Amino acid sequence: MSDATPHLGLPLIAASQAQKHVTHNEALGLLDALVQLACLDKDLTAPPPSPAEGDRYLVVAAEPGGAWAGLAGQVVRYGDGVWTGAVPRAGWLAWLIDEADLYVFDGVAWTSLSRTLTAIQSVSRLGINTGADATNRLAVKADAALLTWDDATPGSGDMRVFVNRKAAARDAALVFETGYAARAMLGTLGSDDFSLKVSPDGAAFATALTASARTGGIDFASAETALAAAPITDLGGAGTRRVLVTGAARIASFGAAADRERFVRFSGAATLVHDPEALALPTRADLVTAPDDTCIAASDAAGRWRVHHYQRADGTPLATGAQVLGATGSVRLPGGLIVQWGLVTAADADVAVAFGTAFPGSCLGVWAQPVAGAGAALYVAQVSDVAVAGFTLRTRRATAGSVAGAGAVPTYWLALGA
């Protein structure tokens, strides 16, 4: 039978042993030293100069000096003026008071648990405030989670999160859920294109946008939402960029939603009411829609809408519709023909007239007509020097058989070109 316990090496009292109290007291001393083990330090290579009764140290130095000679790798205790060592066994724990850290002996060396925890590797599951499982091997239950750049090592100042997949046909995604049912997925989903998919039920998904991996172009997928024409036809609340406006009501507003853009198609003869502070139209006048007319409308930060472009389905320009034409203006007709007109009242009889916009190709002709005046005089307008940018207007007056130049005669002109 052994004379010491197998784990702590406590001396056992032998049969018929004299002075049994010595063995018993030695065993109690070892228990006092090793149970609830808390050591003052582990980095000394020799005993401190003035130890106190019961002081304990880990001797990790390979060749300690002084009274610790021969006690390398042991737990030492000071008692009755003597340093006594105990050989540690695998699994022993020791609290290091000077480091405020817990160490464990693995059979060879003492290892810091806190440093081990900061370098955890190959953990099969990790749950923070919740339980991880075979599918969700990392699980976190919290109101927020923060990933930030490394300012301790220090790092580069960058912070990147990598989501890697096996092949382009697989998914690398962030999935957003409601009640553990997916509502949106963002990432590379089944291809190398980057996309956003949304779902009302976690089963059927619609693609909201796609960014091409090859070109970088963004494609927005959007269904056309139908809205009935009404005094307030709320385009901003439609939820899609494409909107079909049905019916023939008068529309005074597209709603109050700020910073929205909509592509609008009309199916009937609705009337858009021009209002610079609510619904500004390119004609600056009320506009009657026709089936399949389209427009682009956008609102500003105050929710005021403006139609930036309006296209009639039959190709007719807005200026030739039921709008009031100004005294001077131009219009491009279907097929490319351009009509320009104006009113000239010049002090001189001969005046150079410039077109509002130069014809891109050629001027086909200019016609001029003085405004009829009172009296016996007869006024005649002549046109010369016709070019793509303008012409010369010569105004003449015939009185009692004589012809002379005449100024200050209001004269209308009309020009055709392409």
Q: What is the pLDDT of residues 326-336, one digit of tens each?
A: 678 887 776 77
Give 19's pLDDT tier (boundaries 50, 70, 90): confident
From CA 93, how far away is CA 40, in angstroms rounded? 14
* H or E segment and range at residue 183: strand 181-189
* pLDDT for residue 80: 85
Q: What is the pLDDT of residues 183-224, one digit of tens each?
A: 999 999 999 999 999 999 999 999 989 999 999 998 888 789
Compute the average pLDDT of residues 333-344.
84
Residue 404 Cα to chain centre, angstroms: 75
Q: How many residues does the chain have?
A: 418
- E strand intervals along 256-337: 261-266, 271-272, 279-280, 287-288, 294-299, 305-311, 329-332
Is pTM, for the whole model, over 0.85?
A: no
Compute the average pLDDT of residues 361-384.
82
Report whether pLDDT(254) > 60.
yes
In sequence order, which residues have a C-beta less than 8 Å from that of residue 363 and are 6 or more positions away? 355, 386, 387, 388, 391, 415, 416, 417
Report whether pLDDT(9) > 70.
no
Contact, 361 vs 416, CB < 8 A? no
Q: What is the pLDDT of residues 281-326, one digit of tens each?
A: 998 888 889 999 999 999 999 999 999 999 999 887 776 444 455 6
From CA 320, how far away is CA 333, in angstroms rounded? 8
In sequence order, which residues have a C-beta less than 8 Å from that of residue 16 and are 6 or more positions away? none
What dihedral do alpha carbons 95, 98, 101, 102 form, nearest 10°?
A: -20
From CA 21, how far away is CA 117, in angstroms rounded? 44
